[in-house]
Amino acid sequence: MGLISEADRTRISAAIEDAERATSGEIVCVIAGESDSYIYAPYMIAALVALLVPWPLIFFTWWPVQWIYALQLVAFLAILAMLMPRAMRIKLIPKSLQRTRAHRRAVEQFLVQNLHTTDGRTGVLIFISVAERYAEILADQGINAKVQPGVWQQIVDEMTDKIGQGRTADGFVGAITSAGKLLAAHFPPGSADPDELPNHLIVIE
């Protein structure tokens, strides 16, 4: 199952198009399954446990070294298999590190999607990373300088509230509409108003 349905993708694309008709600014939406694989965490924990397994057996049993080694290997593989699914991997990572990685991915997407190159520096990124339960709006300096502190976070809070209710598309559409109104207030459409960036939801599985 994908991160978001085709019907919801269509709704989000339509919302971006509607918002951008009233402004020369640009809005890009990105949803990522995760901001980091965190693949190192299961290996690290499995290795640490496997290293501890032999010690009580060495001191308190007469098991042959081959048996101990085999049990050590089984323990490593069993723990690795248990912790490898994404839902388990993410639980091993501190929330502060999750937020750091998700923010870094948002900044990366801001640059990858060329939001920093728009005419008038009016690019706005609406970003969600599902595994980390993280949402952020990044705005380029042209529009950010005209928006009061806390406004973007208020939009994010409204978006995450809807997402928490299972209404991901509604969350995106609401954020797009709010961002579009801010852009329209300060950057109305001009005679040269190229639609520079994609209007569809960008999905990173």
pLDDT < 70 positions in the chain: 1-2, 191-196
Q: For 146-159, what is each residue's pLDDT tens digit?
A: 999 899 999 999 99
Domains of the chain listed by start with CATH number = 6-37+94-204 (3.10.310.50), 40-91 (no CATH)
Q: What is the Cα–Cα distance from 172 to 128, expressed in whole angstroms? A: 9
pTM for the model stands at: 0.87
**Tokens at 178, concatenated:** 């709010």
Q: For 128-176, what is each residue's pLDDT tens digit?
A: 999 999 999 999 999 999 999 899 999 999 999 999 999 999 999 999 9
The pLDDT of residue 118 is: 84
Q: Is 94 exposed, middle or buried (CB count within 10 Å of its CB: 0-12, 13-18, 19+)?
A: exposed
In the DSSP assignment, the letter for residue 195 is: -
Look at residues 76, 72, 74 and name the one whose alpha carbon lies nearest to residue 54.
72
Q: With contact defined as beta carbons under 8 Å apart, do 122 and 140 qualify?
A: yes
